[in-house]
Structure 1
Amino acid sequence: MTEEYEEREPDYRFTLANERTYLAYLRTSLACYAGGLSAVQFLDLGPDRWPARIIGVVLVTVGIITTAGAFRRWQQNLAAIRRGGPLPLTRLPLMLGATIAVVGLIGLIFSLWR
């Protein structure tokens, strides 16, 4: 059963809330970029520095994924709002939370191991 929704101009508050969510994801992306580059530059977790490089690469990669995912989510939400339909589900917050927790745990383990 396919429901068709007529597109209409949404209440501007919903549009602005969608934009604020998009900007929050972009700030999170920037934090991932900064954290990843800082990890590579400043973490001293051994002579080869490979743990810092792994943490850096993971964080920058997650930043890139978050930037792309945020744009896609913003577009999908705007389309759903205009149709008056339900907002699509996303795994972006779960991915971000899990990645940050794992990276933090890796950093803690290497800090204690050193």
Structure 2
Amino acid sequence: MSDPTQEPDYRFTLANERTYLAYLRTALACYAGGLSAVQFLDLGPDRWPARVIGVVLVAAGITTTALAFRRWQANLSAMRTGGPLPVTRLPLMLGATIATVGLIGLLFSLWR
């Protein structure tokens, strides 16, 4: 184990920060996509499919924002202590959510 008071290599610290910012951009895209779905998608007379898509995307954005911060902190802590980087399921969650929302949108577009 390394000295916890010693700063990790700045390149790793900056890479960790870039990854965190990439997750925040993804969360922002989820917010924008969710709000746009509610506002502009016309997938039926009562618009519930658009609302479902919007809520799921905004919820994914909120979850991504929170988990990205936790991941950034955990990675920084692991780098400072010389431990292994923690495993995350965040990319899997994001990919599955976006694929599911896309499939729902496609099905309702074809159904209409």
How would you bin the TM-score normalised by the shorter chain?
over 0.9
Q: TM-score, normalised by structure 2?
A: 0.97
Q: Which amino acid aligns with 2:74?
A: Q
Alpha-carbon distance, 1:5 to partner: 5.3
Aligned identity (percent) is 84
2:60 to 56, 59, 62: 62
What is the rounded CA distance, in whole Å, between the counterparts of 1:58 and 1:97 in structure 2? 13
Is 1:46 aligned with 2:44? yes
Cα-to-partner distance string for 1:57-91 (whole Å, 9 max, x where unaligned)? 00000000000000000000000011111100011
Runs of 4+ with >2 A deviation: none
For residues 13-51 of structure 1, give each alpha carbon's deviation from its aligned partner in whole angstroms, at most 9, with x where no partner exists. Answer: 000000000000000000000000000000000000000
Query: Match of 1:51, SS?
Result: helix
1:24-43 to structure 2, matched below 5 A, reads 24-43=22-41
Question: Which segments of 5 or more consecutive residues in structure 2 lack a partner in the other structure?
Answer: none
5+ long unaligned stretches in structure 1: none
User: So what's the TM-score if we normalise by structure 1?
Assistant: 0.95
User: In 2, Cα distance between the equivalents of 1:74 and 1:91?
Assistant: 14
- Taking the aligned partners of 2:78 and 2:67, their CA distance within structure 1 comes to 16
Match of 2:72 in 1: 74
